[in-house]
Structure 1
């Protein structure tokens, strides 16, 4: 019979579970004390999952407090009891006892809620607080007088805790049970027949309590009733049941109720003392024995006990003493003294930046021990505006899901605070922080800083020379941002001319470039990251080959010295010191410095210091020296498909017209300055006739005029006096013209390059500007020469 009942119970459980599938929750039940392996339900089948997909989808079950009570066989999808469950230990006297489980599967991620109800079995016998109870009863008591007894308790619930009481055979007493409106049982011994102390002074009875379980369990207590003589009036309360409401957490000493019982006797038989007659916690309440005041003694906590049933005994001082009894029902009112409790479990951290909206990031469960509105909890996210939202799943369970797309390159990490707040007054809250880092996905291609690059390279470069460095940036991280470079050779092969280092992006010229053979190299460089799949971008690079021809007889500069003497003593000649001649020569009387022969590559890329000696023809001859620094660099000529430059000295065009205009301006300026210099010279001669001697010394170039057109200064570094010189020396202007906005420096402050006006073979005049710019970048770095 027991096997059939168990089989029927399991069938009812399965049917009830199938009925609950529509609500998103499975409900099973199992008796307490079930052995290990007891069948609970076919959870995989009830959830709509195939048994063979449990392991691939990482089927797992979690419980916040009772994770080892149940287990699932992933081979057949059956939920079974894993360890012994004691319902009384788990849920005490709660009528409904259930264990909440979370079932989680991946691919896709889903969460199911399962509730397993623990059914009570009759495994606890009724128990009396004491094995023996003693009563004193006056012989003058009338039939129907009630004497409260301490009832038995049963740890079970429901039918298994419904107790029936029975006395052994006696004609003087019967047992009476009363259930009040609070479903509390009051047990009393009722006098059924007047007592005669002289006939039976002591009544010894056995009270048996029987529960309603199957099989029935019993408990007994021995009653010893002593019949007392004389005092025949017991104290009486004005009502048998008092109801009191008390807020939890009230201060110690708070008055609960003031009792008042009356006794019709006189003298000591009328004096009453009050006491607790049942097992009231002595650390919660206290009673003043002479006044009947009941006060709070300890902590009153609604979450522990929300109702107290207190039995009060009022006993007089007669001999024998008589007593009256009443019941106090103390209802504890809830106060919002418990903040919500939160459990947060991360599921998808870090979050890939390509995750789709709706992806579950974390699971959140919330509980509050308070009741009513004090226990109603709402959940929210802070700060607002983040790409996440909370989705309620079941009761106080939430899922933190992705609400919109995220981009790691814009925000690499999100800091969230989940706030749970109850509805009490004042409201209490709890919060939990969660950091959601965003993992990188290769969604950005490398990017160059410019749409194209232009590189200038001197011809006859050494093979393998580094000519440029490419650089592309990628906002991704790790291997997704690791950039490599290579040449795009789809149009034509460049492997014999150019190579690109795959890691550094450095571009090398594999062979010596010749301007006459190739003026322009145009190619594309690609940058590719190391992500999967990889992304790439390209950029166009234009390499222009530059040439600087240096021919024999090329006029470089002019040295002009002045002598204050006259006649033969002022006739000057110029010579180069023999140690500094090399490929250079100087006009004997003109002071013009020019190239003796064509410069080779080594000479053309270096700096030269020339020591010029100037002598007069006096006797004895006097001389002076000056140092001229010359740096030769390549003349940059840029060639483009849409730009054509005319050749100097032949044909006509806009450039030649502009040069002629500049030449006319320069000649007019020189003539004006020369006239001004003559006037100044005449004035100074008249001013210094009285001076016996003249002192000449070295000096720096004096600035005559500076404007947006250019700057003019005297080229003689050794005289402060301007004078007209006849002959060949006077035919040349000593004025030097420098280009606007281009600083002109030389080592140790010398000016080494000046403007030349040279007639060509056709009789036309060409104006050449040669400039030397020596920039010292720092120790160990060669100076940059710009012409």
Structure 2
């Protein structure tokens, strides 16, 4: 239901500040009409849309109700708290609509969530706030004395911006001795005034007449305006020019170029001679419209002098005059109608836009509201609006010149994060004009994608003996979402590893996904771990996925080789006996060693570091077998001391050293005679090492004087003599082993055969023999601070007595 209200103006009822009355009630689907007089005070109430539109205050506030006007004017405001329309600024009907009647303001009230559109029309009624006026304060006329009564003289019409009864109504001429006023109506309904001569003029009696022309409007109170008219009486030209038509009409297209002739006017004068010559001109009181046109004073051709625009002015009215040499004139009207051409493209205005929109928006969600208008008329102003069919959106017309952009399909930000929607508006003109406007619509993210790993199983490697806190591996998951929905945190899932929680071995950086070792690992104890890491995004609710990480411990060369055979003891010496008749390649003994590392770190190689005398022996690089490389000669020393280095293939490599004593002899007594020197050499070497270390200490400390060095050397010599003298009476210990032991073909180990020990003294009652168990890895202890392997002593209770073979070649002799 629409309502039209009439509000009294300040000039109508000065004793009442504001009067509202309901004048007419009409049914207007989708719109409401109000009426108010111009010049209303700012803040005056225009109407109550709460009642007229059936809304409530809460709906206005929640929907963010606002006013939209196509031209951007803000004459009417909305008081959302009271639900009323008020005057926002001064309204001057004459400035707003000029002579157009009725004068109306058209605007829309937009309410969102859901979006509504209500059209409001406010008619601005006129009040008598303008008095009639003339463009000049004084006009001059020249009238020949021979002018006959009834001669007409065109006068300027007064102007009154008001309309209806408030506009110009009557004229009054004073005095009226010789002239009277005549109001002439044209066929088109317009009026103009003429001053008509009633009685003949006599220049000799009165050369000049001063008149006053007054114009009155029909307002209450009545207003008026006047102008002075000076009439100068001329002599003898008693025929005035006469136009062939009182009104000339012409139609001009708005794209007419400058200089185009649109009309030719003509006037005739019955006089002869110079008084017959007529000059054409625009009337002095013609408005500014004459600047758009030009008239040739000789031919009467009217041409276009400037650019015409149908959208600015559809009609022009020009007063023209024909003047002869005697000063007599005739006037006429030229009415110029401008025809419309399709010279304006549609204009697209976005009045509301929701950007971005969530990717889970339902179909038919309103994204934007558009206002599209074309200043042209008829078909030239009819508009078609459309967008590309490939987009998941569509355009829907909501009312005249208003369109809605709505969603038409499922949106997925991960597939298309944003759309460039080009809206095309095309008119129906020929040729048609079109306008494009592109909206960059962004799709906001919804947490609909979990984090994803590139693979479900990841393998990492770490070398043993690592430092705690060392980075092992870094995992990375990706999330197609954005913002917090794509912010991934990593967590280690609790599980049991070797009886302990997985967090006791590893930790995961929540931000980077870096896996850190919480402790040092030993390859020889554990070779691999399997843990599970969870990646969780920051959405609500959060989504997650898992990955299994297999962590392999890599071996490090942290264990030196361990020599299993020959056994190095601190209390006795072991010697191998080689007969002088031994052939080339004779197997003397075999060095057996193992390495608890793996891979190339456990690949062992054997080499001789030092051999006494000429080279008589060699050791197998891979199997550790010590063999003769030539025949034994008389020049060869009876005792041979071989140093075998066992080295692994690690980087850097580690090694162990074993000393093998070899006796070249054919009989056991010969062995006993030579073996004494082994003990002496050993003691000598031990003392020499001690004093070498002492000498290095002396060099390191430069402050020790030469006297101390000399005394130290003498002490060293004296001590050596004393040690040699004391050791000369001791009987060395000769270890004893079976002469023939099994050769296993270079496998690097000996068979687990029994070994025999014979303890002999000068007193046969003290002699003894026993059998010890084979060497095994369980009986070895590793000293990591040294490069040699020390065997663990076997308890006496584990030895058993056995018989001695008939021809022993290896002895342990205890003094």
Q: Of 442, 448, 459, which residue of structure 1 is paired with 2:453? A: 448
Task: State the TM-score, normalizing by the size of structure 2.
Answer: 0.63
Q: Which runs of 5+ in 2 are unaligned?
A: 1-7, 565-580, 610-616, 619-628, 637-643, 652-742, 753-815
CA distance in 2, matches of 1:572, 1:49: 118
Q: How does 1:653-668 map to 2 (within 5 A)?
A: none
Cα deviation digits, residues 470-497 of structure 1 (max 9, x gap): 4322111222112123355599994566
Change (3 A) 1:434 1:259: same
CA distance in 2, matches of 1:260, 1:325: 11
CA distance in 2, matches of 1:36, 1:86: 12
Q: Of 66, 81, 85, which residue of structure 2 is paired with 1:60? A: 66
CA contact (8 A) 1:390 1:400 kept: yes
Q: Which runs of 5+ in 1 are unaligned?
A: 555-567, 574-586, 633-729, 734-755, 762-787
Tell me how far 1:372 sits from its aligned partner.
3.3
Change (3 A) 1:308 1:546: closer
Change (3 A) 1:216 1:628: same
CA contact (8 A) 1:66 1:99 kept: no
1:176 paired to 2:189:
no
Cα deviation digits, residues 285-333 of structure 1 (max 9, x gap): 2222222222223333333332222222222224xx4323322212222
1:390 paired to 2:403:
no
Cα deviation digits, residues 600-644 of structure 1 (max 9, x gap): 68x9857766547985316899xxx99997359xxxxxxxxxxxx
CA contact (8 A) 1:366 1:420 kept: yes
Q: In the alignment, which residue of structure 2 is the partner of 1:269? A: 275
The secondary structure found in structure 2 opposite 1:46 is: helix
CA distance in 2, matches of 1:149, 1:420: 50
Q: In the alignment, which residue of structure 2 is the partner of 1:534? A: 542
Q: In the alignment, which residue of structure 1 is the partner of 2:291? A: 283
Tell me how far 1:259 sits from its aligned partner.
2.4
CA distance in 2, matches of 1:595, 1:104: 99
1:364 paired to 2:370:
yes
1:342 paired to 2:361:
no
Tell me how far 1:40 sits from its aligned partner.
0.5
Task: State the TM-score, normalizing by the size of structure 1.
Answer: 0.65
The secondary structure found in structure 1 opposite 2:649 is: strand
Q: In the alignment, which residue of structure 2 is the partner of 1:307? A: 315
Change (3 A) 1:346 1:26: same
Q: In the alignment, which residue of structure 1 is the partner of 2:304? A: 296
Q: In the alignment, which residue of structure 2 is the partner of 1:328? A: 334
Q: In the alignment, which residue of structure 1 is the partner of 2:405? A: 400
CA contact (8 A) 1:498 1:507 kept: no
Q: In the alignment, which residue of structure 2 is the partner of 1:250? A: 256
CA distance in 2, matches of 1:135, 1:435: 68
CA distance in 2, matches of 1:626, 1:183: 133
Change (3 A) 1:477 1:50: same
Tell me how far 1:361 sits from its aligned partner.
3.1
1:317 paired to 2:330:
no
Q: How does 1:746-785 map to 2 (within 5 A)?
A: none
The secondary structure found in structure 2 opposite 1:11 is: strand
1:630 paired to 2:649:
yes
Q: How does 1:725-764 map to 2 (within 5 A)?
A: none
Change (3 A) 1:139 1:354: same
Change (3 A) 1:460 1:128: closer
Q: In the alignment, which residue of structure 1 is the partner of 2:429? A: 424
Tell me how far 1:530 sits from its aligned partner.
0.9
Tell me how far 1:145 sits from its aligned partner.
3.9
Cα deviation digits, residues 33-57 of structure 1 (max 9, x gap): 1012211011234343322444444
Tell me how far 1:152 sits from its aligned partner.
0.9
Q: How does 1:649-688 map to 2 (within 5 A)?
A: none
Q: Of 483, 487, 493, which residue of structure 1 is paired with 2:488? A: 483
The secondary structure found in structure 2 opposite 1:103 is: strand
CA contact (8 A) 1:205 1:224 kept: yes
CA distance in 2, matches of 1:626, 1:552: 11
Cα deviation digits, residues 655-674 of structure 1 (max 9, x gap): xxxxxxxxxxxxxxxxxxxx
Number of aligned residue pairs: give it: 605
Q: In the alignment, which residue of structure 2 is the partner of 1:188? A: 194
CA distance in 1, matches of 2:161, 2:235: 40
The secondary structure found in structure 1 opposite 2:336 is: strand
Tell me how far 1:525 sits from its aligned partner.
3.8
CA contact (8 A) 2:593 2:748 kept: no
Q: Of 11, 14, 33, which residue of structure 1 is paired with 2:22? A: 11
CA distance in 1, matches of 2:35, 2:532: 74
CA distance in 1, matches of 2:415, 2:385: 28
CA distance in 1, matches of 2:220, 2:183: 22
Q: Of 414, 417, 421, which residue of structure 2 is paired with 1:412? A: 417
